[in-house]
Amino acid sequence: MKNATLHQLKVFEAVARHNSFTRAAEELFLTQPTVSMQVKQLSKSVGLPLFEQVGKRLYLTSAGKELYTTCRELFDRLLQFEIAIADLKGLKQGALRLAVVTTAKYVIPRLLGPFCQRYPGIDVSLTVNNHAWVLESLADNRNDLYILSQLPEDIDVKVHPFLENPLVVLAQRHHPLAQERNIPLKRLAEEPFIMREPGSGTRKAVQKLFDEHGLELKVKLDLGSNEAIKQAIAGGLGISVLSLHTLALEGHSSQLTILDVDGFPIERYWYIVYPSGKQLSVIARTFFDYLLNEGKSVAEATAFQGVFSKGRRPDG
């Protein structure tokens, strides 16, 4: 083991956790041949095979299981060491690792701007991925903080709401319903919908609303990105429900408009989440407090003027 490197151990841990060379390569932003070579070299250092292939499935050998347990313990100790060093350095230097769901990319980078200007010595790693991936990362304690709009049900976590995340109905600006007011949900149900993939938090919220009113949600098109959905709406393929934050940087020339529909906006929130019992570094705690105290004001100040007032109810 004297020739094994920390990089090889990190690659091995990712492969073992995913039971997949391909998924490990995607997570680490490496090619699959590179991942395979790193594991092969590590196996040579150990002197025993670490994985065995049975059909299309990948399994840890006895040596692999022992090494995986050791890796997790080692990385946990290294994380505690990093936290201790960060605390000694204070806010002058250090790292902040964030994992956020896809829709949060419309708000978190704008919130990071003033924070990084205030603390220029902090290096930020921001990972944007789908809800399932962020939950997996949360369960494995890979990052400092996590931003979610749909809370986990089977992970013991600390949860703190910090920003409203209303869901609004979007249509092409010249859509026949664009000038209507108090559109009944039953009328909306006649329209073809463009939605995120099944399992997304937004789609679940919309489906729940329609189910409560005994209405069918007619999904014409599934798309994996909010930007693709916005383009499809602009092209007249249908309407959709998205976070109001997806419009934060849309100007007067936007091809989209918010429909005035009964039951909308659906009130949701962005949450700061981290595992229960996790010790936050000084840097993570400072960013946590920043989101709670300044997140809303910064989000509104850095958005296109008036966009958030459009998403509020008349009495709100």
pLDDT digits (tens, 9 = 90+) for 237-291: 999 999 988 887 776 667 899 999 998 999 999 999 999 988 888 889 999 999 9
Whole-number Å distance between alpha carbons of 309 and 316: 9
**What confidence tier does 305 reach under pLDDT thresholds 50, 70, 90?**
low
Query: In the chain, what are the domains?
Result: 6-72 (1.10.10.10), 90-164+269-310 (3.40.190.10), 167-259 (3.40.190.10)
Supply the pLDDT for residue 315. 35
Q: Mean pLDDT, to the nearest integer, of 37-65?
A: 92
Q: What is the pLDDT of residues 226-243, one digit of tens each?
A: 889 999 999 999 999 999
Higher pLDDT, residue 90 or 274: 274
Q: Look at residue 23 and tell me whether its pLDDT is greater than 80.
A: yes
**What confidence tier does 304 reach under pLDDT thresholds 50, 70, 90?**
low
Higher pLDDT, residue 55 or 39: 39
Percent of the chain with pLDDT over 90: 54
